[in-house]
Amino acid sequence: MKVVILGAGKVGESLARNLSQDGYDVSLVDLDKSKIDYLQDRLDVAAIVGHAAHPNSFKKCGADNETIVLAVTNNDEVNIAACQIAKAQFSVKKTICRFKDNTYLSCLDSFGENVIDIPISPENEVTSHLKDLIDHPGAEQIEEFADGKVKLVSVKVKKSGKLVDKALRTIEDDMPGIESYIPSIYRKGKPFIPSGDTIVKEGDEVYFVTASENVDAVVNEMRLEQGYSRVMIIGGGKIGFALAKTE
């Protein structure tokens, strides 16, 4: 599958490196010739000097209806225009557009129907993740699935947890009617797949999947936690401001 990455900054370079290693046919476009030359020598990609939103750049990449476009330049307007040209002139399969200014997310239809298939706002993603960690004390990592209805959570087991030194299957006795699935446990830095007979130990890092509304109940099986009464945000930038507004 062809992947066209527009913008050879840190994000573009990282995407190009990982996707090329996974066997994708990657083209990388940027106006900075020195950056393109540098990456051409180090990555297995077609590095092209050109404007991200110019049709000639897409022609050089061989963009077609089987191509995925990742518009990740530092300019939102360039990313938008690039997606419009990619869809209108080259009928690409999918466009993924990065936005620094998340106000654009509320008016995606104004750029054209189905022009931007997947909008990405790093600011929103970080804010949402931090809010999740505040909302669920004790959780160390949280990932959302199914539009936020299901969550994958990691929690470090403490002595205060109800399940400590008990078999994993007894979690059903403590939480009747609450469904959860534990696919993995890290113990002393090594992962393993647990069974119902696995004894949960203090210090284990437990990964579990459950409905969003059940996260705290499962966390409390591993470590008793109380909600925060006060939150101090250090830094008044975009993310700090957005996080303050959510609380």
pTM exceeding the 0.95 threshold for the entire prediction: no
Domain contains 133: no
Q: How far apart are CA 75 and CA 10, in angstroms?
A: 14
Domains of the chain: total: 2
Q: How many CB atoms lie within 10 A of CB 114?
A: 11
Same domain, 20 and 107: yes
Q: Domain of 63?
A: 2-120
Whether residue 211 sits in one domain with residue 101: no
Residues 171 and 106 in one domain: no
Does residue 69 share a domain with residue 159?
no
In this structure, what CATH number is given to the domain that contains residue 49?
3.40.50.720
Dist CA 118 CA 168 (whole Å)? 39
Residue 145: inside a domain: yes
111 and 195 assigned to the same domain? no
Give the Cα separation of 238 and 242 in Å (integer): 6
Would you give per-residue pLDDT tens digits along the chain (247 residues)? 899 999 999 999 999 999 999 999 999 999 999 999 999 889 999 999 999 999 999 999 999 999 999 999 999 999 999 999 999 999 999 999 999 888 888 888 889 888 999 998 877 677 777 777 777 778 888 888 888 899 999 999 988 888 889 998 888 888 888 899 999 999 998 999 999 999 999 999 999 999 999 988 888 888 866 666 677 888 777 777 777 777 5
